[in-house]
């Protein structure tokens, strides 16, 4: 029998990294040595991308230059433009975006260059292009022209502007920007590991990111935020209905999305921020229903199962209050995590060794071939 602790690679150190670190016992998360509690709400998403991809926080001039580079990099090439209406018609957001991200390499000027400098340029383009692709998806499926990005807004503000068609207040921009910072990186999560496995074959940045998008989509990973919203929306009645709902789900042996974590043995530090943001945004939106439901659900799940909410739980009511359609919640996660994925691909390429774990064979042995007529 396989050692149980290695099932799902739990506790296996699969890579060395200086991008991020987690202390699961004490519920702490660090980006390049900075505690998430210290930087959330203090650095912009653009600063966070710079930090993860380069290892240090930028000085003002570095940040100005980087923001200029991001603004120049959001162009979508003709191959992706041509593909967009087809995939929008036929595919759900994460399927479509996975395909569109893959197609970006066809027009990327550095596609054939595998140097670290080219990786950095590709990384910047991908961070700039994905929010535009999500906004284009949303416009296309609603049959309206895409809203042009506003040069005065950063990635967070522009995304809300393009998706909702409403100019976000400074406070709303700040809060969404913090959401992007909170989701930016998280050590060897499933999608980042996927990206590193692909990069470790010396495959290219776009292949690694396409794989990561596929891994993020699943409901046990980034797809959980959409599932949480669908759960909250499915509960009829007032907040007291939450207790019965949770108990029925758990006694039927079903998992509640947005709870539990492989690494954290206590509260996920990102949930601490998102809970507060959920309350503030619910107040601003004038509708506390899903915040109140979430608070009650958190309480009942903890009392019944001892499970804590993870990053996806309060992200659901936050994104809902921001006016983001539910099926774009996981794409929003991808917009943020693009920063971490690309940082990890660069790091993997800089000091590469093929990732090729072992397996333990559990099937039959010593079988003998028989002719097909005699089987």
Catalytic (active-site) positions: 261, 312
Q: How far apart are the first and last CA of the chain?
A: 29
Residue 184 engages ligand ACO in binding (rule: CB under 6 A): no
**25, 363, 348: which is closest to 193 by C-alpha?**
348
Three-class DSSP category at 139: helix
Tally of CB atoms within 10 A around 370 = 8
Query: Which of these ranges, 29-37, 194-202, 259-267, 360-368, lies near ligand ACO under the rule CB under 6 A?
Result: 259-267
Rank residues 116 and 220 by Cβ distance to ligand ACO and give the closer one.
220
Q: Which of 159, 259, 290, 314 contacts ligand ACO by CB under 6 A?
A: 259
257 makes contact with ligand ACO (CB under 6 A) = yes
Give DSSP secondary structure letters for 215-241.
HHHSTTTTTHHHHHHHHHHH--SSTTH
Question: How many residues touch ligand ACO (CB under 6 A)?
Answer: 19
Q: Please report whether residue 267 would count as binding ligand ACO according to CB under 6 A.
A: no
Query: Applying CB under 6 A, which of residues 122, 196, 206, 221 lies at the interface with ligand ACO?
Result: 221
Establish if 256 lies at the interface with ligand ACO (CB under 6 A). yes
The answer to whether 6 contacts ligand ACO (rule: CB under 6 A) is no
Q: Of 278-337, which residues contact ligand ACO (CB under 6 A)?
A: 305, 307, 310-312
Binding mask 102-121 for ligand ACO (x = CB under 6 A): --------------------
Task: Select from 36-44, 196-204, 229-237, 260-268 the region that touches ligand ACO (CB under 6 A).
Answer: 260-268
User: Rule CB under 6 A: is residue 122 a binding residue for ligand ACO?
Assistant: no
Residue 261 in the binding site for ligand ACO (CB under 6 A): yes
Nearest CA to 190 out of 167, 168, 215 is that of 215
User: In the bound complex, what is the minimum distance in angstroms from residue 370's beta carbon to ligand ACO?
Assistant: 40
Residue closer to ligand ACO, measured from CB, 2 or 116: 2
Task: Estimate the share of the chain in helix, then strand, then coil, as percent rounded to the nearest 5.
Answer: 60, 5, 35
- What are the Cα distances from residue 279, in Å, to 43, 253, 282, 287, 322? 21, 30, 5, 10, 12
Radius of gyration over alpha carbons of the chain, in Å? 22
Write the burial class of residue 233 (CB in 10 Å: 0-12 exposed, 13-18 middle, 19+ buried).
middle
Are 125 and 66 a contacting pair, CB within 8 Å? no
Write out the residues near ligand ACO by the rule CB under 6 A.
8, 189, 220-222, 224, 255-262, 305, 307, 310-312
């Amino acid at each position: 029998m396989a050692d149980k602790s290695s099932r799902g690679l739990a506790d296996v150190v699969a890579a060395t990294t200086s991008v991020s670190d987690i202390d699961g016992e004490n519920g702490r998360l660090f980006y390049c040595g900075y505690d998430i509690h210290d930087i959330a709400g203090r650095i912009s998403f653009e600063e966070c991308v710079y930090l993860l991809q380069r290892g240090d926080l930028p000085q003002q001039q570095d940040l100005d230059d980087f923001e200029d580079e991001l603004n120049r990099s959001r162009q979508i090439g003709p191959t992706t433009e041509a593909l967009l209406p087809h995939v929008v018609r036929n595919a759900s957001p994460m399927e479509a975006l996975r395909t569109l991200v893959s197609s970006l390499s066809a027009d990327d000027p550095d596609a054939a260059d595998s140097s670290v400098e080219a990786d950095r340029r590709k990384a910047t383009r991908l961070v700039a292009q994905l929010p535009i692709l999500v906004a284009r998806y949303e416009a296309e499926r609603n049959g309206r022209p895409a809203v042009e990005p506003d040069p005065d807004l950063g990635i967070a503000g522009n995304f809300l502007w393009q998706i909702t068609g409403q100019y976000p207040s400074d406070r709303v921009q700040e809060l969404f920007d913090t959401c992007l910072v909170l989701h930016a990186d998280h050590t060897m999560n499933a999608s980042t590991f996927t990206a590193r496995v692909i990069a470790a074959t010396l495959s290219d940045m776009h292949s690694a990111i396409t794989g990561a998008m596929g891994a993020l989509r699943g409901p046990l990973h980034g797809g959980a935020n959409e599932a949480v919203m669908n759960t909250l929306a499915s509960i009829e009645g007032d907040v007291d209905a939450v207790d019965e709902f949770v108990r029925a789900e758990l006694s039927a042996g079903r998992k509640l999305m947005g709870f539990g974590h492989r690494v954290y043995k206590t509260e996920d530090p990102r949930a601490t921020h998102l809970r507060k943001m959920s309350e503030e945004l619910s107040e601003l939106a004038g509708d506390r229903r899903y915040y109140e439901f979430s608070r009650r659900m958190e309480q009942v799940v903890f009392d019944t199962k001892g499970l804590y909410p993870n990053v996806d739980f309060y992200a659901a009511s936050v994104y809902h209050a921001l006016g983001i359609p539910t099926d774009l919640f996981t794409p929003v996660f991808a917009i943020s995590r693009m920063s971490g994925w690309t940082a990890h691909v660069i790091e993997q390429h800089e000091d590469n060794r093929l990732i090729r774990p072992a397996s333990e064979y559990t099937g039959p042995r010593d079988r003998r071939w028989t002719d097909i007529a005699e089987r």
